Amino acid sequence: MSTPLSPPFSRARTLFILFSLALGGFGIGTGEFAIMGLMPNMAVDLGVSEPQIGHLISAYALGVVVGAPLLAIFGAKLFRRHLLIALMLFYAVGNLASALIAQYEWLLVFRFIAGLPHGAYFGVAALVAASLVPAGQRAKAVSLVMMGLATALLIGNPLATVLGQHLDWQYAFAFVGVIAALTSALIFVTLPANPDEQRNSPFHELSAFNRREIWYPLAIGAIGFAGMFCVFSYLAPTLLEVTGADPFWIPVALAVFGLGGFVGNMLGGWLFDKLGFQSVGWMLVWSIAMLLLFPLATTSVWSLLPVCFLVALMVALGPALQTHLMDVAEGAQTLAAASHHAAFNVANALGPWLGGLAISGGMGWQSTGYVGAATAVAGLVIFFFGLRQQRMSGEQLPQTS
C-alpha cells in the first residue's frame, strides 16, 4: 500500500495534483511516440534511412528498460515529490538536447538518455496518486495519471507530427521538453513532501523485489500486452496493403486506436477497483477475442476501424497491473511500480518483432492479430499461475469497493 498523504486534501487540490502528474504523462507519451509520425521528415533531414530512424525509437525504449529499475533504486531514499521533480527535469533536458542535435549518432545517445526517467516517473506518480484517495479508488486515481499517456496517443502525437511537418521535427522535441519543465513546476507548487512517507534503502528495495508475486504481473505486462503493439505497429501497412484504403485513413485509424486506449485506460482502473486482480484475467480473455477478430476485419475500412477501437481497449491492463503491483510489492513499491513500465516497453519491442517474423514468413500483414492473440494467451496462462500463487499464499490484498 502507498503511504497516504496527510492531512487529506480537498477534492479540488487532489484533482490538481493528479492533473499535474498526468501532464507529465502527456509529455512523456508525446516524446515516446513523436518519431513514429515524423519518420519520413527525420530521415530526409538526417540523411539516413527510415529503418535507421526506427533505431531512435529502439534507443528510447532501451533507455526506459535500463532507467526504470536503476533510477527507482537510487531514488528510493528520496521523498517522492523530490524524485518526481528531478525525473521531469531530467526528461526536459533529454528532449531539449534532442531538439538541438542534428547529427544522427548523437541523437541516438540523447534518445536513450531521454528514455531513462520514463518508467520511474510513471511508477512514482502512480504511487503518489494512489496515496491521495481511499483504497477502493486507487486504480481509478492511477488511471487518471495514465490518462496523460492515453491523451498523448490521441492528441499529443498528432500535434507533434503537425509541428514537425510544418516547422521542423526538432520543434516536436522542444515542445515535449517545455511540457516536462512545466510539469516539474506544477509538482513543486501543488505536491508537498509527505513527512510520514516510508523511504527505503536501495538494498532493501532489491531484496524485497525478488518475489514471485511481483514477477507474475510484470511477466503479464511484458508478454500478454505485446499483442496490442504487434497490431498497432503494422496498422498503416495493413490498411494500405490488405484493406486497400487511401493513405487518408491512416491518421484516422491511429486516432481511433488512440480513442480506444483513452477509454480502455479509464475502464481498467474501474474494473480493478471492482474485481481486483481477477479483472486482469477478464481483460486478457477480451484481448484474445478482439485480436482474433482483427484479421477478419481487415477486408474493409468500415469493419477495421471499430475493431481498432476494441483492440486498443487492451490498454485497460495498464492501470490494473500497476495497482496490483502496489498491493504485492511491499518493501519494493518504487522499484516494482517503475519496472511495470519497463515490462510494457519489453512488450513494445516483443510484439512488433514477433509480428515482423510472421509477415516475413509469408503469413501476411493481417497475421499480426493471430500473433497478438498468441501472446495474450501466454499472458493468460501466466495470470492463472499468478492467481494460484496468490490463493496459495493466502495474501490479504486491499478490499475493493
pLDDT at position 331 is 61
Residues 180 and 321 in one domain: no
Write down which residue in 143, 165, 199 finishes a domain: 199
Q: Are residues 186 and 232 in the same domain?
A: no
Q: In this predicted structure, what is the pLDDT of residue 333?
A: 66
Contacts of 131 (CB under 8 A, 6+ apart): 2, 3, 4, 5, 194
The residue range of the domain holding 218 is 202-401
Residue type, 203: F
What is residue 371's predicted lDDT score, i.e. its pLDDT? 92
- Nearest-angstrom CA–CA distance, 24 and 330: 26
Domain count, the chain: 2
Of 278, 282, 238, which Cα lies nearest the Cα of 257? Answer: 238
Could you give the CA distance from residue 166 to residue 137 in angstroms, rounded to a whole number? 43
How far is residue 49's CA from residue 301's CA, in Å, rounded to a whole number? Answer: 30
pLDDT at 199: 56
Shared-domain flag, residues 232 and 160: no
Claim to verify: residue 218 and residue 177 sit in the same structural domain: no
Question: What's the CATH code of the domain at 175?
Answer: 1.20.1250.20
Same domain, 139 and 215: no
Assess contact for 37 and 156: CB atoms under 8 A.
Answer: no
The residue out of 145, 173, 199 marking a domain boundary is 199
Closest by CA position to 28, among listed 140, 124, 157: 157
> In the chain, which stretches have pLDDT less than 50?
1, 6-7, 396-401
Give the alpha-carbon dihedral of 384, 344, 185, 147, to 10 degrees.
-70
Half-sphere exposure of 363 (CA within 13 A, CB side): 15
The verdict on 246 and 303 lying in the same domain is yes
Give the predicted TM-score (pTM) of the model. 0.72
**Single residue among 199, 223, 248 that ends a domain in this structure:** 199
Which SS3 state, helix, strand or coil, does residue 235 take?
A: helix
Could you tell me if 52 and 194 lie in one domain?
yes
d(CA 310, CA 84): 33
pLDDT at 54: 63
What pLDDT does 362 receive? 83
What CA–CA distance (Å, rounded) separates 385 from 372? 20
Task: Let me know whether 277 and 356 are in one domain.
Answer: yes
| Alpha helices in 155-277, H assignment, sequence order | 157-166, 169-190, 202-209, 212-219, 226-233, 235-238, 249-275
What pLDDT score was predicted for residue 399? Answer: 44
Q: In sequence order, what DSSP letters do the residues of 136-149 get, joined into one string?
A: GGHHHHHHHHHHHH
Distance in Å from the first CA to the final CA of the chain? 16
